[in-house]
Amino acid sequence: MKADLHIHSLHSNDGEYSIPEIIKFCIEGGVDTFSITDHNGVNGSREAMQLTTDVEGMDFIPGIEIDCNYRGTDIHLLGYQVDLRGEDFDVLKITVRQKHLDAVPQMIGNLEQLGIHLDPDELMLKSDGEPPTGELFAELLLENSEQHPNPKLLPYLPGGERSDMPLINFYLDFFAQGKPAYVKIEHLDFHDAVALVRNNGGIPIVAHPGLNLEGREGVVNELMDHGAVGLEVFNNYHNNKQIAYFAELTAKRGAILTCGSDFHGKNKPLISIGQYNFMEKHRESLDRSLTTIGTHRKT
């Protein structure tokens, strides 16, 4: 695909590649419309905006992905065409960083109760003082051969049933909401996240709703009733049934539908920039939505 509106750089604590590297990947892959949507911050978008100014034929859309919560469910909200000049997102980044740091001891403790042990000092050294992600926990554990006899880690080792993307799979199996090592973090309320995006001139879009709301996909109607103007319909998490449902729903509501790979690098090695599940019958609707996003500017 020529558009990818969900890409993470090393400005996300779980991203691997620099902005110049990502721009290179886009050019090599024929992606001419892209957005950097780092977690809870816009430094990556600021850098990409500067570096793409003189790149002919490339349309960069500044973005962000905000962790938030709707009625007890963790949700991710994408914000496109946000104003990069203000301080609101810098404050958000600092606040969320501290909350994640505060959660680390409990994350370690929860794993300990499950019989999975690691060295806290080694973890923080590996994270270079930044909040360690669930994927980093997995990386440290899987690199330690002394841990390999632990039966709970066997699925993530080579040949195991969860070894295709072991780092993100470990996170999803242990640290995702509802999983045994999950630690609740008080993120922004969904309504406040929407207001934050709108107050900074942006377009609020619900990221991969079929992932966060699996089995309760209809909740997206409430999210759009409360300020989201569209859904990320095409991604690497939605099956064809979910894509059809979300595409038809956005069409009925006259809402925006977007596309994105959720590229991170080594944490999601099967995901490449510009590659995601797509249904050709909805291409015209996607093109209209991309035009709407591309022409949106803060006034």
Strand segments, DSSP code E, in the chain are 3-7, 33-36, 59-70, 73-80, 188-189, 203-206, 230-234, 256-259
User: Rounded to an integer, what distance in angstroms lies between the CA atom of residue 200 and that of residue 196?
Assistant: 6
Q: What are the residue ranges of helices labelled H in 144-273? A: 166-174, 190-199, 209-212, 220-225, 240-253
Q: State which H helix or E strand residue 134 sits in.
A: helix 134-143
Q: What are the pLDDT tens digits along the chain (299 aa)? A: 799 999 999 999 999 999 999 999 999 999 999 999 999 999 999 999 999 998 888 999 999 999 999 999 999 999 999 999 999 999 999 999 999 999 999 999 999 999 999 999 999 999 988 999 999 999 999 998 877 789 999 999 999 999 999 999 999 999 999 999 999 999 999 999 999 999 999 999 999 999 999 999 999 999 999 999 999 999 999 999 999 999 999 999 999 999 999 999 999 999 999 999 999 999 999 999 999 999 985 43
DSSP assigned state of 94: H
- Tokens representing residue 17 in the block: 């590649």
The CB density around residue 127, as the number of other CB atoms within 10 Å, is: 17
User: Rounded to an integer, what distance in angstroms lies between the CA atom of residue 251 and that of residue 202?
Assistant: 21
Q: Which residues are registered as beta bridge partners of 120?
A: none
Half-sphere exposure of 168 (CA within 13 A, CB side): 15
